[in-house]
């Protein structure tokens, strides 16, 4: 276990390589007639939020829009959770994805999103689930319902078994050729809701770690057994599909998938979990699968790599201990995470639908955040409560009723406060324009702009796992259009960040 709040040496080396790429890209996209000095190059992050198949699909459109603006080469970090993490993992299978167009990846995503989902419960598939869960248990992992859900996600996103692992994504960073992906989840405790207790956990291809404790392990060792920081028993690295299960938001999707058939196998829930049913055909196989699973419904359990650490009895007075203000359990030494045998991981959507906390670590010095989200105001309040510098996102009542495609926030002069470019997922001018500056004319073109995101009839509800070809294309095209139609605000953020960096350097 690596202890410390600094970035690991691998990430620091990546940043050095990435900065050179970013400097050249910013000169190109902003049409500068001079080279940026190291101290002038801002750190740009794209921060996504979850939403199952909807966020999975929209992410591809947003990435294609950013690619067309030549903006991806300006980005240092991409953070994700829930459905956006599904998209990121698919994209990062290609070590040079941001150097190519995304049409092939979007075509593959469309194939998976529009396919028949009922095959996930065929007898052949159920046998596969059982074999995989049994193997995971034999490997030494504590299998839970979330592992089963991870295998279902594997089916939803792929034609066959997906052996992709988080550590494989280092190949996409070796030359600094892509942004660094960060996947976000939370550690929770039994008998406490996420409102009362949660600890942010970040996953990168280099490390998995706790923001609060400043403790990190390599992805290959996450889930293995540790004691007092030493590796006791090495377990195989989990496949990415299992990590996808950890970062699923259950809001409604579970009710689509898990309903009563012949049996009524209720899985006991905790106060912070949504009660649900598990859909399995009656018979010996279903019983054997349940034997492999534990009684936890929506919490994935991994061996705790913090186990056995002893903090100083005055840890609360130690400025290095990153105590977050949203839990009172830190005042009780025997309630700290190092006393637990297992980490309990859930989707951050159980609390707040944001992947932002890892980006706001002061060590990452993020200057600009492109925020693809519905929840900027709620996230803003949370960061303010924690004392984390973040723009004061306040929308007028008129905007709340009719959201614009993009908002720009750069009012704060507080040190470390990033510039925010906020993209709600809305259908505004896309209704009347097929491309920026190009109005729709024909009846067919008008129909292509009719994207229902909010009514009770919307095809993009989080209950929905399967889209029609038309609905998939509409959401991808809308997401891309909103990015392209607001390039002036994105580029304005870059120029402002460069100027801020320059002024700060001169002051020092």
Stretch (H or E) spanning 208: strand 208-210
The CA distance from 134 to 136, in Å, is 5
For 481, phi then psi, to 5°, come to -60, -45
Per the annotation, the verdict on 82 as an active-site residue is yes
E strands in 339-445: 342-346, 368-372, 407-409, 419-423, 433-435, 438-439
Q: Calculate Rg over the CA atoms of the chain.
A: 23
Distance of CA 456 to the CA centre of its chain: 26
Per the annotation, the verdict on 347 as an active-site residue is yes
Q: Could you tell me if 349 and 81 are in contact, meaning their C-beta atoms sit under 8 angstroms apart?
A: yes
Strand partners, 463: none
E strands in 49-179: 77-80
- Catalytic option among 82, 238, 251, 254: 82
Please name which of 454, 143, 181 lies closest in space to residue 299, comparing C-alpha atoms. Answer: 143
Please name which of 150, 151, 142, 153 lies closest in space to residue 292, comparing C-alpha atoms. Answer: 142
Q: Could you tell me if 295 and 331 are in contact, meaning their C-beta atoms sit under 8 angstroms apart?
A: no
- DSSP codes, 12-78: HHHHHHHHHHHHHHHHHHTT-SSPPPGGG---EEEEE---HHHHHHHHHHHHHHHHHTT-GGG--EE
For 114, phi then psi, to 5°, come to -95, 0
Computed from CA positions of residues 473, 478, 479, 485, in that sequence, does the dihedral angle turn out positive or negative? positive
Helical axes 145-157 vs 123-138, angle rounded to 10°? 130
Please name which of 114, 94, 324 lies closest in space to residue 198, comparing C-alpha atoms. Answer: 324
Beta strand pairing status for 368-372 and 44-48? parallel
E strands in 100-259: 180-188, 199-203, 208-210, 215-217, 225-227, 230-233
Q: How many other C-beta atoms can be found within 10 angstroms of the C-beta atom of residue 240?
A: 30
Q: Could you tell me if 480 and 64 are in contact, meaning their C-beta atoms sit under 8 angstroms apart?
A: yes
The CA distance from 223 to 240, in Å, is 13
Structure tokens that stand for 197 in this block:
């207790």
- Catalytic option among 168, 347, 367, 471: 347
Computed from CA positions of residues 476, 479, 481, 487, in that sequence, does the dihedral angle turn out positive or negative? negative
Show which residues are catalytic. Answer: 82, 347
């Amino acid at each position: 276990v690596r202890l410390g709040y600094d970035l690991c040496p691998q990430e620091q080396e990546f940043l050095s390589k990435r900065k050179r790429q970013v400097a050249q890209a910013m000169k190109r996209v902003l049409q500068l007639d001079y080279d940026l000095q190291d101290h002038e190059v801002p750190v740009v992050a794209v921060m996504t939020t979850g939403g199952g198949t909807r966020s999975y699909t929209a992410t591809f459109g947003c990435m294609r829009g950013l690619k067309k603006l030549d903006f991806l080469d300006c980005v240092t970090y991409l953070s994700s959770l829930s459905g956006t993490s599904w998209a990121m993992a698919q994209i990062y299978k290609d070590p040079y994805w941001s150097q190519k167009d995304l049409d092939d990846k979007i075509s593959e995503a469309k194939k998976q999103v529009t396919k028949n989902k009922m095959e996930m419960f065929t007898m052949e598939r159920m046998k596969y689930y059982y074999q995989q869960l049994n193997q995971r248990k034999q490997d030494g992992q504590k299998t839970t319902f979330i592992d089963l859900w991870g295998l279902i996600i594997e089916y939803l996103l792929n034609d066959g078994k997906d052996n992709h692992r988080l550590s494989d994504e280092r190949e996409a960073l070796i030359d600094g050729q892509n942004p660094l992906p960060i996947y976000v989840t939370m550690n929770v405790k039994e008998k406490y809701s996420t409102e009362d207790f949660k600890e942010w956990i970040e996953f990168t291809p280099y490390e998995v770690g706790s923001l609060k404790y400043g403790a990190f392990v390599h992805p290959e060792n996450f889930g293995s057994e540790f004691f007092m920081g030493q590796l006791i028993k090495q377990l195989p690295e989990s496949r990415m599909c299992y990590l996808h299960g950890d970062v699923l938001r259950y809001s409604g999707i579970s009710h689509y998938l898990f309903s009563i058939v012949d049996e009524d196998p209720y899985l006991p829930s905790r106060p912070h979990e949504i009660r649900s049913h598990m859909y399995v055909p009656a018979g010996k196989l279903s019983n054997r699968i349940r034997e492999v699973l534990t009684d936890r419904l929506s919490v994935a359990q991994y061996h705790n790599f913090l186990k056995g650490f002893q903090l100083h009895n005055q840890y609360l007075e130690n400025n290095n201990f990153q105590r977050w203000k949203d839990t009172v359990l830190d005042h009780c030494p025997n309630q700290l995470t190092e006393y637990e045998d297992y980490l309990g991981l859930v989707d951050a959507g159980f609390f707040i639908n944001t992947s932002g906390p890892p980006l706001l670590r002061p060590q990452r010095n993020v200057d600009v955040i492109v925020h693809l989200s519905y929840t900027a105001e709620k996230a803003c309040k949370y960061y303010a409560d924690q004392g984390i510098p973040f723009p004061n996102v306040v929308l007028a009542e008129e905007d709340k009723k009719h959201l614009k495609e993009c908002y720009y926030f750069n009012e704060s002069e507080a040190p470390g406060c990033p510039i925010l470019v906020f993209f709600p997922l809305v259908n505004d001018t896309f209704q009347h324009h097929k491309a920026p500056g190009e109005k729709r004319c024909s009846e067919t073109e008008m129909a292509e702009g009719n994207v229902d995101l909010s009514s009770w009839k919307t095809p993009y509800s989080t209950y929905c796992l399967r889209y029609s070809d038309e609905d998939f294309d509409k959401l991808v095209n809308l997401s891309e259009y909103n990015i392209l139609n607001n390039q002036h605000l994105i580029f304005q953020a870059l120029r402002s960040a460069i100027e801020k960096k320059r002024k700060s350097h001169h002051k020092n």
